[in-house]
Amino acid sequence: MVTKEKDRNELLRELREKREQKRQKKLRAKMRRRVIVPIALITAVCLTLGIVYSVSAKEITITEINEFTGLKSSQKVVTTGGNVEEVLRDRGLYVGEDDRLNVPPDKQVCDNDDIILTRGKRVTIKVGDTESVATVTKADATDALVEAGYTPGVYDSITTDGDTIELVSVSHTEETTTETIAREVTYVDDPDLPQGSEVVIDEGEDGVKEIQHKVTYLNGAETERTTTGESVTEEPRSKVIARGTAVPTPEPEPAPAPKTRTEGAAVSDDGGTINGYRYRKKYTMTATAYTDSPSENAGYTVSAMGNRLRYGVVAVDPNVIPLGSTVYVTAPDGSWVYGVASAEDTGGAIRGNRIDLCYPSGASGFGRRSCVVYVLE
């Protein structure tokens, strides 16, 4: 009886243990549910927030350049900012009035955007007599001028002084000028002219030469001129002057006063001397002058006797003074002297007491003059 009672108590104890185990198991399950639900909620919230952040965040590159200080920095940032200006401001970067952005400041940023902020400054630009103010981002003077709208030439000079840039326009040109080559003067002796007298045979002509120059201009003003070559385009022709070599004989003793008579041309004493020359007849006449130019002699360049027209040839009336005669012509008071001449030309207006004196030039100013004509022996 004792054994059976014992077995029944053991069975009851085992049953109680099993019921307790089931109760503890249910209790633990309930506790797990109480813990898992909040954790799940928190996890869900965190996941949701993470997804939202991941969707709105962008990775961009911000580069800041300042050539005047030598700054160039670049950084990658993750941002949820809206536009470019907001993103820069969030990182303490402000866009000044003289600064430059590669994108508009109100542009909405996108993933992988590159934002470049270039610092600038104002400079004074001098060109010739003018000055202007421009905003530039280039530290190099030439690049700054181009940025400001100027195009420096190959030879232009550029100088900088603080915030001032001066551009001097330099240009080189090839120029050609002409220059006169003065004619030379050549003298030839003429035994038919009195010693000390001169007659121009040929006026000659000046020559011309071209001179090539390299000219330098600074801001349009010539500063340097260098001769690079020259060439003669017209050769000069010498002026030829006949120089008298005839030496008169010494002045003879004065002759007795001649008797004069008038018959057509005024005829004076028959015989005597004038300036050392013996004469056989003496006439008082009216003298005119002409030149050896063909245009004044109907195209002729020779006298009626076929000799070259020149100083010392005179035109006469052959009925008064025979052609071929040698004469001496002078003013009645000696105020002018034509000298020894050859009577070998004629003229339509030369009649009676008229004589026409040949000159190389200047005949138009001679006019009409009274003269004495001596027919020499």
Per-residue pLDDT of the chain (377 residues), as tens digits, is 445 666 677 777 777 777 778 878 877 777 766 655 555 555 544 444 444 444 578 999 999 999 999 999 999 999 987 899 999 998 889 999 999 999 999 999 999 999 999 999 999 999 988 999 999 999 999 999 999 999 898 889 899 988 999 999 898 899 999 999 999 999 998 887 777 778 888 899 999 999 999 999 988 889 899 999 999 999 999 999 998 887 654 433 343 333 333 333 344 456 789 988 999 999 999 999 998 888 877 778 888 898 888 999 999 999 999 999 999 999 999 889 999 999 999 988 899 999 999 988 777 788 899 999 999 98
Q: What is the pLDDT of residue 261?
A: 33
Regarding the domain with residue range 250-376, which homologous superfamily does it belong to in the CATH classification? RlpA-like domain (2.40.40.10)
Hey, which residues does 59 pair with through a beta bridge?
A: 78
Between the two ends of the chain, the Cα-to-Cα distance in Å is 218
Looking from the CA of 94 toward its CB, the CA atoms found within 13 Å total 3
Listed by start position, the domains of the chain span 25-52, 58-118, 121-168, 174-216+224-244, 250-376
Which long-range contacts does 127-133 make (Cβ < 8 Å, 24+ apart)? 127/166, 127/167, 127/169, 127/219, 128/169, 128/219, 128/220
Q: Which CATH architecture has domain 58-118?
A: Roll (3.10)
Tell me if 354 sits within 8 A of 329, measured CB to CB. no
Hey, which residues does 181 pair with through a beta bridge?
A: 207
Q: What is the pLDDT of residue 146?
A: 95
Strand pairing of 58-66 and 114-118? Answer: parallel
Q: What is the pLDDT of residue 45?
A: 43
pTM recorded for the entire structure: 0.43
Specify the CATH class of 174-216+224-244 in words.
mainly beta
Strand pairing of 121-127 and 130-136? Answer: antiparallel
Closest CA to 87 of 128, 52, 58, 45: 58
d(CA 374, CA 343): 11
Quote the tokens at residue 77: 């940032």
Closest CA to 311 of 337, 330, 292: 292
Q: How many residues does the chain have?
A: 377
Helix/strand/coil (H, E, C) string of the chain?
A: CHHHHHHHHHHHHHHHHHHHHHHHHHHHHHHHHHHHHHHHHHHHHHHHHHHHHHHHCEEEEEEEEECCCCEEEEEEEEECCCEHHHHHHHCCCCCCCCCEECCCCCCECCCCCEEEEECCEEEEEEECCEEEEEEECCCCHHHHHHHCCCCCCCCCEEEEECCEEEEECEEEEEEEEEEEECCCEEEEEEEEEECCCEEEEECCECEEEEEEEEEEEECCEEEEEEEEEEEEEECCECEEEEEEEECCCCCCCCCCCCCCEEECEEECCCCEEECCEEEEEEEEEEEEEEECCHHHCCCCCECCCCCECCCCEEECCCCCCCCCEEEEEECCCCCCEEEEEEEEECCCCCCCCEEEEEECCCHHHCCCEEEEEEEEC
Strand pairing of 239-246 and 185-194? Answer: parallel
For residue 134, the Cα-to-chain-centroid distance in whole angstroms is 30
